[in-house]
Amino acid sequence: MQERLRSPMAKRLDLEIVQDGVYATAELKETATGNFCHWFVSGISANGLPAMLVDIAVPLVSTSRPDRLSEADAFAKKYIIPLALGLKLTPGAGESIPPLGVEERGYLFEAHMEHHFSQNRLGKLTLQRQTEALFKMATFLEVLTPVKLIAKFQGVGTGTVESRVQRGRASGAIPKASDVRAKKELLKKGL
């Protein structure tokens, strides 16, 4: 395995790993809501041609740049590289997948919401904490009407959910809408 850390002045690559025909690059990103590492991995697919295999952003716990690099490297060795090595053998490696439409994101959110928040899985989670978690899941999936879907699921009015979301934002449990928009803009710009 060959591994190389890039100069901090490098434009987009903070870490590169080469192993068994897989080439992985990572970019560390800092946003208003946390730090993460964005991996792009390519390799020689089953048809003998280079193909993109993995595109994944992984949240990081570490706060300093050296610690984030170390954490990203360890994660890659344990999960990213083995995943890519397995994927490069599949016939569909490198095929792009169409993005989810609005309706599909809504259905996906509802399925995950029902799985995690069914009565037998709730434990001692308060309605406030449930709402905060659900809203963050919906934001992650870019669901267009999260308050409406959460209200329907919880059997309450949208005003009740909106109040819980406001309390969650005030406490810091839910990122402020402006922070989420800022994060999306940074990601679009590749910063």
pLDDT in tens, 140-167: 888 988 999 999 988 999 999 999 999 9
Say if residue 41 is in the same domain as residue 68: yes
- CA 110, CA 98: separation in Å to the nearest integer? 20
Say if residue 175 is in the same domain as residue 123: yes
* Whether 42 contacts 52, CB under 8 Å: yes
- Consecutive H or E run containing 127: helix 127-140
Does residue 97 lie in a domain region?
no
Q: Over 70: is that where the pLDDT of 176 sits?
A: yes
Give the pLDDT confidence score for residue 5 in this predicted structure.
Answer: 47
Instruction: Single out the residue in 40, 56, 87 at which a domain terminates.
Output: 87
Convert the pLDDT of each residue in 57-107 to its tens digit. 999 998 889 999 999 999 999 999 999 999 888 877 777 777 888 899 999
Helix extents (H) in 9-126: 65-75, 81-87, 102-116
* Whether 151 contacts 161, CB under 8 Å: yes
Domain extent for 170:
102-189
Is pLDDT larger for residue 175 or for residue 135?
A: 135
Say if residue 124 is in the same domain as residue 185: yes
- The vertex-117 CA angle with 34 and 164, nearest 5°, equals 60
Does residue 185 lie in a domain region?
yes
pLDDT band for 184, please (50, 70, 90 cuts).
low
Q: In Å, what is the CA distance from 42 to each residue of 46, 53, 88, 130?
A: 12, 5, 8, 38
Say if residue 81 is in the same domain as residue 119: no
Give the pLDDT confidence score for residue 161 in this predicted structure.
Answer: 95
Does residue 126 lie in a domain region?
yes
Give the pLDDT confidence score for residue 174 in this predicted structure.
Answer: 85
- CA 69, CA 132: separation in Å to the nearest integer? 30
Does residue 125 lie in a domain region?
yes
Say if residue 65 is in the same domain as residue 111: no
Q: Over 80: is that where the pLDDT of 33 sits?
A: no
* Whether 96 contacts 59, CB under 8 Å: no
Instruction: Single out the residue in 30, 54, 87 at which a domain terminates.
Output: 87
pLDDT band for 26, please (50, 70, 90 cuts).
very high
Say if residue 22 is in the same domain as residue 50: yes
Does residue 94 lie in a domain region?
no
Say if residue 11 is in the same domain as residue 83: yes
- CA 183, CA 35: separation in Å to the nearest integer? 11
Most confident among 71-75, 105-109, 122-126, 185-189 (mean pLDDT): 71-75
Per the structure, the count of domains in the chain is 2
* Whether 191 contacts 28, CB under 8 Å: no
Give the pLDDT confidence score for residue 9 in this predicted structure.
Answer: 41
Q: Over 80: is that where the pLDDT of 123 sits?
A: no
Q: In the predicted model, what is the mean pLDDT of residues 171-188?
A: 71
The torsion angles phi and psi of 19, rounded to 5 degrees, stand at: -155, 125
Instruction: Single out the residue in 45, 61, 87 at which a domain terminates.
Output: 87
Percent of the chain with pLDDT over 70: 83
* Whether 108 contacts 146, CB under 8 Å: no
